[in-house]
Chain A
Amino acid sequence: MNNSWNDKLSPVVKAIPPSGIRKFFDLVTETKGVISLGVGEPDFVTPWHIREASIYALEKGYTMYTSNSGLLELREEISKDLSGSYGVNYDPRSEILVTVGVSEALDLAMRAIVCSGDEVLIPEPSFVSYAPIVSLAGGTPVPLPTTMENEFRLTPEQVEKAITPKTKALLLSYPSNPTGAVMDRKGLLALAEIAKSHDLIVVSDEIYDKLTYVGEHTCMSSLPGMRDRTVLLNGFSKAYAMTGWRVAYAASNPDFIGAMTKIHQYSIMCAPITAQMAAIEALKSGRPAMKRMVQEFSRRRHLVMQSFKEMGLPCFEPKGAFYAFPKTSVTGLSSEEFAEQLLQEEKVAVVPGSAFGNAGEGFIRVSYAYSSDDLSEAFRRMTRFVRRRGVFPRKVIGPSGIDFVQKEGICQNL
């Protein structure tokens, strides 16, 4: 008899490294008195009327399964929302699937389309689940490193260069977790052309679409010829402060949605009915509350950017989501060293950029889903920490007025 049950595990699962976030989470929970800027969810509680709709559903005895695809009323509301927001139409009966969070939708999409050995292109830094989910589906994740200098956007050239006969799909997430980067319409159009010419599927995680502060969000499916080759993923977690409800959806052509529904019905069955009832309420009348939250995030975004400028850390200005991704390599520390030492010395928790792939090395992820008081105190502590590493901001007059010049010579406009 084998002594180690580890030998019995699937080699695919064994090959997947543990999440960098999980590892750091354990370290943070062992430290007392920590101000955390490490959370990837809104600091607002779900708006009351949405909670109330769910409570009412329970009181009325809605405690049973729904159809595998989700409540038809919810799918109809989702269809209306997509049509109204982006002008892209989906049949609620065959082209929309309600899932348990975008995480499940992503898993279903990958399992439905990826065959053994297929390659999936993923811009990095990327959400921690993307690469492992591709691997679990039997595919090969191919990271496409993006840079701060290029505002963490994918270029058509690097996508073209990465394409091989095995490339099956492109997995996009804009606005991005962890960088806050967005892709404008022109940039997405260029990627769409490549997808069409190489017959690629685009899986587009647009969970942060409503949290776009600069310009308007472009929905990949709304671009010419992209509706049927895009699996659009979205949900309620971020815009409506509903992370714990685990309710989201996928929208695409009936073939993809049909295949995803097959996996979903055998593994998950359906999303919880009370969460689906709450989601209906969110779509019907949650927009004003959502807009108030978005305005507040936008206000904090300025505070965060100002703080990084004052402390001397170069930081790309995030255009969406609620994260800033400052470059910490100017301190001479690796991402993990920076995060660990900041935690130990100043009791501020941030997530090392390396948790989001190799391209995130040299950065940290800072969430601004916190109160202004918490943010101010955390930045006071972080400034002390950074100064001790010999990084100081310096102001000089440049051609466009006052420019900010980093000690190491990296320029960032004020």
Chain B
Amino acid sequence: MLNADTETVREEIRNMEGNKTILKYMTLINWEKAGEEKVDAMIEVRITPQRDTGYDTVAERIYRFPEVRSVRLMSGTYDLAVFVEGKTMKQVANFVSTKLATIEGVVSTTSHFVLKTYKQDGVIIDDEEEDRRLVISP
């Protein structure tokens, strides 16, 4: 496919891992199919920027929490999009009210619970198309 031998490709992957171009290898799991109950939420967070560091200090305090899957600084009506994962809705709500909202510099939070995931990381969940072809054709 790349018109290169296996060793060349392996070496290139090693280099990209070394210089952190490749950060991590992930398995994307359809949790519903796996029978795992879990809750995802996206929290809009408005914060007061800090002198010298802007949004970075508060963002760092947030992304250090293990419950937080990702944090992104956004343009628009709020500042950070924080993706949180928990076992139950109560657990996520508890995290937001006791840990996230109480950080100094956090002005407000708005929580959106994920009801269903249709596509993630470029992969369509449940993307199975039926084979409608005839059994024999020319």
Show the binding face of A for B, using Cβ within 8 Å: 19, 21, 24-25, 28-29, 34, 36, 38-41, 43, 45, 127-129, 177, 243, 295, 349, 351
Contacts and interface: CB of A to CB of B under 8 A. Distances in A.
A129 B133 contact: no
A28 B137 CA distance: 11
Contacts of B129: 45
A43 B128 CA distance: 12
B106 to A, nearest CB: 41
B131 A38 contact: no
Nearest to A356: B138
Nearest to A27: B136
Interface of B: 1, 129, 131, 133-138
A351 B135 CA distance: 10
Contact of B133 (A19, A21, A28, A39): A39
Contact of A43 (B133, B134, B138): B133
Contacts of A177: 138
Q: Say whether chain B's binding surface is mostly helix, strand, loop, or mixed.
A: loop
Contact of B136 (A24, A43, A295): A24
A24 B131 CA distance: 20
A40 B138 CA distance: 5
A25 B135 contact: yes
Contacts of B137: 21, 25, 38-41, 243
Contacts of A40: 137-138
B1 A34 contact: no
Contact of A25 (B1, B131, B134): B134
Contacts of A45: 129
20 contacts: A19-B138, A24-B136, A25-B134, A25-B135, A28-B136, A34-B135, A36-B135, A38-B137, A39-B135, A39-B137, A40-B138, A41-B133, A43-B133, A45-B129, A127-B138, A129-B138, A243-B137, A295-B1, A349-B135, A349-B136
A29 B136 CA distance: 9
B136 A39 contact: yes
B2 to A, nearest CB: 11
Nearest to A48: B124
A36 B134 CA distance: 9
A24 B1 CA distance: 37
B136 A36 contact: yes
A8 to B, nearest CB: 28
Given A28-B136, A41-B133, A129-B138, 11 more contacts: A21-B137, A21-B138, A38-B135, A38-B136, A39-B133, A40-B138, A41-B137, A43-B133, A128-B138, A295-B1, A351-B136
A19 B1 CA distance: 38
A24 B135 CA distance: 10
Nearest to A19: B138
Contacts of A43: 131, 133
Contacts of B136: 21, 24-25, 28, 36, 38-39, 349, 351
A318 to B, nearest CB: 17
A29 B138 contact: no
A283 to B, nearest CB: 23
Nearest to A178: B138
A29 B135 contact: yes
A128 B134 CA distance: 17
A344 B135 CA distance: 15
The residue in B129, B134, B135, B137 that gathers the most chain A C-beta atoms within 10 A of its C-beta is: B135
Contacts of B138: 19, 21, 40, 127-129, 177
Contacts of A39: 133-137
A147 to B, nearest CB: 22
Contacts of B134: 25, 39
A77 to B, nearest CB: 27
3 tightest Cβ-Cβ pairs between the two chains A and B: A38-B136, A25-B136, A36-B135
Nearest to A371: B131
B101 to A, nearest CB: 41
Nearest to A25: B136
Contacts of B135: 25, 28-29, 34, 36, 38-39, 349
A65 B136 CA distance: 32
Contacts of A36: 135-136
Nearest to B130: A45
A38 B136 CA distance: 5
Contacts of A351: 136
Contacts of B131: 43
Contacts of A349: 135-136
A314 B74 CA distance: 62
Nearest to A291: B1
Contacts of B133: 39, 41, 43
A104 to B, nearest CB: 14
Nearest to B1: A295
Contacts of A243: 137
The residue in A19, A36, A128, A129 that gathers the most chain B C-beta atoms within 10 A of its C-beta is: A36
